[in-house]
Structure 1
Amino acid sequence: MGSSILAILSLIIIGYTVGSVRIVKQGNEALVERLGRFKTTLRPGLNLIVPFLDTVVLEDTLREQTLDIKPQTAITRDNVSLSVDAIIYWRILDLEKTFYAVEDVEFAMQELVVTSLRSEIGKMDLQSTFSSRESINKALLDVLDEATEPWGVKVNRVELQEIKPPPEVIESMQQEQAAAIKKKAAILEAEGTVQSMRLLAQALDKSEGRREILNFLLAQRYVEANQKIGESDNSKVLFMDPRALTEGLVDLMNEGDN
């Protein structure tokens, strides 16, 4: 009889001991409630609680976490609808506040980001949004940092991942960019031609045999022009005597010298 009672007591003691031991992982903390009220915070390592009275209601990490904000619709100041997504880097500083001050901290942060993001995009035109990532990131961080402080949370940074206009807007932007590139190329080509003409004029002024040089250049241009025209299937080619053309230009040059 005595041995049976001893065995029962041993089981009770073992069960009590096992039930009172809580091991918290490194980088985590745990919250304990006693009879429905907050009692204490358990740190990493071995902790003891009172079985049947104490309950571990939450164990969570204090390490940095990420919250991915799925693509959201935002409208710019010039009425262009954009798809924008972002990512939040955050960590819990005070687990007690995070658990008791807000129902769902991740959902609350997401709603803050979406609202603030739409507000910031609405202040800008389409072109400004692509060059204003840093200012938008900072604006979002400032809003989150202030709002999440009572929740025991620290938002380290917010980064926009993609700003995506509708396909028709992207096509229009590509066409404008292509036209701008073509225009710039034409300007550079024209500037190069003008510079070449200046250099040629300077060289001819300083050369004693400028008549022969001019004859050579004109003959070369004449051959190139005839070759290009001849390559067209629909062209009607009228050949001129290069000697007559050359002599006429030389005479004009001679008149200019007199």
Structure 2
Amino acid sequence: MIFLILLLILVAVVVYVLGHIRVVSQSQSWVVERLGSYYATWTNGVHFLVPFVDNVVAKNSLKEQVMDFPPQPVITKDNVTIKINTVVYSQVTDSKLTTYGIENPVAALENLTATTLRNIIGDLDLDETLTSRDIINTKMRTILDGATDKWGIKVNRVEVKDITPPAEIQNAMEKQMKAERERRAQVLAAEGNKKAAILQAEGQKESQILQAQADKESAIQVAEGQKQSRILEAEGQAEAIRQVQQATADGLSAISQADVTDQTLTVKGLEAVKQLADGQATKLVIPSELQNIASLGSVFKASVTDDAANKKQDATNEQN
């Protein structure tokens, strides 16, 4: 009986001890107090919580937290009230400082963000505010990260999500943007027309140049053709003249080489007289002495011989 009681007590103690074993995950860190004072910061692993002595006072997540704060009204340097919505990315780096350094880290970071934003926007005009988001983000992250170091929180990034100006300013900006878009559209259209006109003019210029070149080449071809035609015609005429002169020279040469005697000339003269007699003339004069005809034939023979020799010499000179 006593053994059974002891066994039950042992089982109860084991169960109680096992009930005080704690397992901390990778993404968390626990702050433990012992007898009301800070004792340790537990990271991932198995830990034993001493009964009635140790107490877990905080379980902080080590993951990056995204805090989307509601729009904050701020006044620009040119006295325009706008609303800005910011998003802060933060992460716990020291659980002890986060637990004991600040009562409500999220609320404290929200208020600090609003204050910092008012200070930065107060030095900027509306136009600068709308076009300087990167500068605003960088300044805010630097200021917030420096201020939250003592809280064990690191600010990784700050983003300006929305900037909302007053309604009348929005209407004026929309009209201005519309006018700017229309102006750009007109500029683009004018540039397009200009380019089209330039291309058309260049095309006409190229066409005229090509046409002028074609006309020039055609005129050159026509002139060349006329030149060749004249050359060929001149060569043909020259050849005809050479052939006529050659034929004349050959005829005279044949005559000069023929054996023309006085008797032959006399006979030829009588034949000529006979042909004259056969004509239609009503009056015929015949020399009294045919010897004169023979003498005339001799003179004619000498003349023909000399003339044939001269013609032949001229033809030879022209051929050379």
TM (norm. structure 2) is 0.57
For the residues of structure 1 that align with 2:150 and 2:135, how far apart are their CA atoms?
25
Counterpart in 1 of 2:131?
131
For the residues of structure 1 that align with 2:101 and 2:77, how far apart are their CA atoms?
36
For the residues of structure 1 that align with 2:136 and 2:82, how far apart are their CA atoms?
14
**1:169-248, aligned counterparts within 5 Å?**
169-183=169-183
Deviations 1:107-126 (A, max 9, x none): 11111110011111111111
More helix by share: 2
Distance 1:45 1:196, change over 3 A: closer
For the residues of structure 1 that align with 2:185 and 2:191, how far apart are their CA atoms?
10
Deviations 1:58-107 (A, max 9, x none): 11211111111111111111121111111111111110011101111111
Counterpart in 1 of 2:49?
49
Would you say the 8 A contact 1:78–1:126 is kept in 2?
Answer: yes
Distance 1:198 1:68, change over 3 A: closer
**1:76-87, aligned counterparts within 5 Å?**
76-87=76-87
Deviations 1:29-69 (A, max 9, x none): 11111121111111112111211111111112111111111
Counterpart in 2 of 1:146?
146
Distance 1:4 1:184, change over 3 A: closer
Residue type of the partner of 2:82? L
Distance 1:59 1:188, change over 3 A: closer
Counterpart in 2 of 1:30?
30
Residue 202 of structure 1 deviates from its aligned partner by 11
Which 5+ residue runs of structure 1 have no aligned equivalent?
209-258
Counterpart in 1 of 2:122?
122
Deviations 1:209-243 (A, max 9, x none): xxxxxxxxxxxxxxxxxxxxxxxxxxxxxxxxxxx
For the residues of structure 1 that align with 2:6 and 2:199, how far apart are their CA atoms?
114
**Bigger mean CA offset, 15-24 vs 52-61:** 15-24
For the residues of structure 2 that align with 1:159 and 1:44, how far apart are their CA atoms?
32
For the residues of structure 2 that align with 1:149 and 1:44, how far apart are their CA atoms?
23
Residue 185 of structure 1 deviates from its aligned partner by 5.3
**SS of residue paired to 1:55:** strand
Q: Which has the higher contact order (CA 8 A, sep 6+)?
A: 1
Distance 1:118 1:13, change over 3 A: same
For the residues of structure 2 that align with 1:183 and 1:202, how far apart are their CA atoms?
28
Counterpart in 2 of 1:224?
none
For the residues of structure 2 that align with 1:167 and 1:110, how far apart are their CA atoms?
26
Counterpart in 2 of 1:16?
16
Residue type of the partner of 1:83? K
Say whether residues 1:111 and 2:111 are aligned partners: yes
**1:163-174, aligned counterparts within 5 Å?**
163-174=163-174
Counterpart in 1 of 2:315?
none
**SS of residue paired to 2:77:** coil
**Bigger mean CA offset, 170-179 vs 188-197:** 188-197
For the residues of structure 2 that align with 1:84 and 1:113, how far apart are their CA atoms?
11
Would you say the 8 A contact 1:19–1:51 is kept in 2?
Answer: no
Which 5+ residue runs of structure 2 have no aligned equivalent?
209-320
**SS of residue paired to 1:70:** coil
Counterpart in 2 of 1:70?
70
Residue 186 of structure 1 deviates from its aligned partner by 5.6
**SS of residue paired to 2:69:** strand
Distance 1:13 1:179, change over 3 A: same
**SS of residue paired to 1:127:** helix
Count of aligned positions: 207
For the residues of structure 1 that align with 2:148 and 2:16, how far apart are their CA atoms?
39
Distance 1:131 1:19, change over 3 A: same
Residue 177 of structure 1 deviates from its aligned partner by 2.3
For the residues of structure 2 that align with 1:18 and 1:200, how far apart are their CA atoms?
93
Residue 7 of structure 1 deviates from its aligned partner by 4.2
% of aligned pairs identical? 37
For the residues of structure 2 that align with 1:194 and 1:49, how far apart are their CA atoms?
84
